[in-house]
Chains A and B, each alone.
Chain A
Amino acid sequence: MLKVNNIDVFYGNIHALKDVSLEVNEGEIVTLIGANGAGKSTLLKTLSGLLKPKKGEVLYQSQQIGGKAAQTIVKNGISHVPEGRRVFSTMSVEENLELGAYLRHDRDGVKKDMANVYDLFPILGERRKQPSGTLSGGEQQMLAMGRALMAKPKLLLLDEPSMGLAPLIVKRIFEIIKMVNEQGTTVLLVEQNANMALSIANRAYVIETGKIVLSGTAKELQESEQVKAAYLGGL
């Protein structure tokens, strides 16, 4: 479904991604784990069109999307839930969800999907008229995910959904990721919380200072000494 071939991404002259290749197959949950500053967010931003790769290609359903405008990519079915949620804080929960469906014109479908999001996250339904900035961190994460789902994505990019959340809420968020995946959405999940991520993923990649250093099935990585030492220690 998604195939990244040897991309290089720069911020000015900072070389943030070096010759990165990765693949996500339809129906999978693939996780990308790595420490802070490794380049995880940079990769997702490149996939969703916020950054342009200097070299290499990004193939989505066999089409080159690397360097395309973000709106084109959303239209093609990739939604990105950014790090730190980035909800539109002074706008209501409902307005945030409407913006998620910005490119859609099927009013009835949008209505139905909004009802589905409220089913998935009942708390959002209760708070639909509330400014999203007044929600708790966990609720904002749910809203950011719901907002992305409103675009009816085929591929969902999640950037550290567990960041800053209490363990119980993280557990709930991960259950929902699994559920969304079971309903047919392919997921690329970026995490520092390797334990949780590997527990729901099919396959995984490990990124260090802009390079993919390891890849395999989630099970293989859970058992890898290298991963245990660097990412699973203490947890």
Chain B
Amino acid sequence: MEWIQQLVNGISLGSIYALIALGYTMVYGIIKLINFAHGDVFMLGAFIGFYAIARWDIGFFPALIISMVLCAIIGVIIERVAYKRLRNATRIAALITAIGVSLLIEYTVIFFRGASPEAYPEVLPKTYIDIFGVSISSISILILAVTVVLMILLQFIVHKTKIGKAMRAVSLDPDAARLMGINVDNTISATFAIGSALAGAAGVIFGVYYTRIEPLMGVLPGLKAFIAAVFGGIGSIPGAMVGGLSLGVVETVVSALGFSLWRDAAAFVILILILILKPSGIFGKNTREKV
């Protein structure tokens, strides 16, 4: 029974990784950039949610939506200001820029509010539900439900809507997409908006679940979500979902086995193993990249 409890914890953590990993993978899929500032958008999402709940006294769902909308806008601004002009630059230039944007966001937040952590207000009633003799917190269930709904929504957008089809077309072949009349710049912005909104949602969920947020909180989850995306196959949306959930469960199991000090190392061991065994990831295409 203890194990089921751990599994639930692992899935909750994994949901957060998965939501962040989706943004990494979508952005990589469309412009082949590892957006290292993505973990910081997650942090901003957590703070936006925090201020919305603590200062404006609004509920979880409105805070979630406000955070998603603002993060979407922030994501688009980051793309337009920092990355757009680097589309034809070398990858290393873009990567360094991403790291620069990441540091800029982190230290701007610290500049304005200091580095001290913040305790997330309790917006959700903490009750426990008994399922097959295991008591599971209602927050876990809500998190899982929100994650599942967001993922279904994402699948719907990507596969059924015009903008989703444009996103896939641009990620497959930007010039051919242009010939269809697709506005590649707007499509890339939409991708950043969606990925960043998901990171914002993950931030609020993280705050509610772990109750403690701080300006550098995006670094490690960001890195791990990136590993989750690589594990699933970078560029693959189902890969990011499965990769995130698996990583959350693995970490929780490693802790539960009594190796809690090794918890963070587990992700990096996984990264090394994938890079050796299957660099394209579980859902990755085995084709080499076009040059």
The yes or no answer to B289 lying at the interface (CB within 8 A) is: no
The yes or no answer to B181 lying at the interface (CB within 8 A) is: yes
Among B2-10, B64-72, B145-153, B164-172, the one that faces the other chain is B164-172
Is B176's CB under 8 angstroms from A82's CB? yes
The yes or no answer to B122 lying at the interface (CB within 8 A) is: no
Within 8 Å CB of B166, what residues of A? 99, 102
Number of B interface residues at 8 Å Cβ cutoff, please give it.
16
The yes or no answer to B130 lying at the interface (CB within 8 A) is: no
Q: Name the CB-closest residue of A to B182.
A: A102
A82 with B175, Cβ < 8 A, contacts A71-B182, A99-B165, A102-B166 known: yes
8 Å CB contact of A88 from B162, B172, B183: B172
The yes or no answer to B89 lying at the interface (CB within 8 A) is: no
Is A86's CB under 8 angstroms from B181's CB? no
A74 with B175, Cβ < 8 A, contacts A88-B168, A95-B165 known: no
A148 and B172 alpha carbons, distance in the complex (Å) = 17
Within 8 Å CB of A98, what residues of B? 165
8 Å CB contact of B180 from A49, A89, A99: A99
8 Å CB contact of A99 from B175, B182, B183: B182
A210 and B253 alpha carbons, distance in the complex (Å) = 65
Number of A interface residues at 8 Å Cβ cutoff, please give it.
26
Within 8 Å CB of A147, what residues of B? 180
Is B173's CB under 8 angstroms from A151's CB? no
Within 8 Å CB of A50, what residues of B? 175, 178-179
A85 and B94 alpha carbons, distance in the complex (Å) = 30
Is A71's CB under 8 angstroms from B183's CB? yes
Chain B nearest CB, measured from A188 CB (Å): 14
The yes or no answer to A114 lying at the interface (CB within 8 A) is: no
A70 with B165, Cβ < 8 A, contacts A82-B175, A86-B176, A88-B173 known: no
Interface positions, chain A 86-105, Cβ under 8 Å from B, are 86-91, 95, 98-100, 102-103
Within 8 Å CB of A75, what residues of B? 181
Is A70's CB under 8 angstroms from B176's CB? no
A75 and B178 alpha carbons, distance in the complex (Å) = 11
Within 8 Å CB of A46, what residues of B? none
* Residue from B172, B178, B183 having most chain A Cβ neighbours under 10 A: B178
The yes or no answer to A79 lying at the interface (CB within 8 A) is: yes
Is B181's CB under 8 angstroms from A74's CB? yes
Within 8 Å CB of B176, what residues of A? 82, 86-88
* Residue from B169, B176, B182 having most chain A Cβ neighbours under 10 A: B176
Is A70's CB under 8 angstroms from B172's CB? no
Within 8 Å CB of A88, what residues of B? 168-169, 172-173, 176-177
Fill in one digit per residue for A97-132: 1 if any B CB lies within 8 Å of its CB, else 0: 011101100000000000000000000000000000
Is B173's CB under 8 angstroms from A86's CB? yes
Fill in one digit per residue for A126-150: 1 if any B CB lies within 8 Å of its CB, else 0: 0000000000000000000001100
Can you list 17 A-B contacts (CB < 8 A)? A50-B179, A69-B183, A70-B178, A74-B180, A86-B173, A86-B176, A86-B179, A88-B168, A88-B177, A90-B168, A90-B172, A91-B165, A98-B165, A99-B165, A99-B180, A102-B166, A102-B182
Known: A74-B181, A100-B180, A151-B180. 13 other contacts (CB 8 A): A49-B178, A50-B175, A74-B180, A80-B179, A82-B175, A86-B175, A87-B176, A90-B168, A98-B165, A99-B177, A102-B180, A103-B180, A148-B179
Interface residues of B (CB under 8 A from A): 162, 165-166, 168-169, 172-173, 175-183
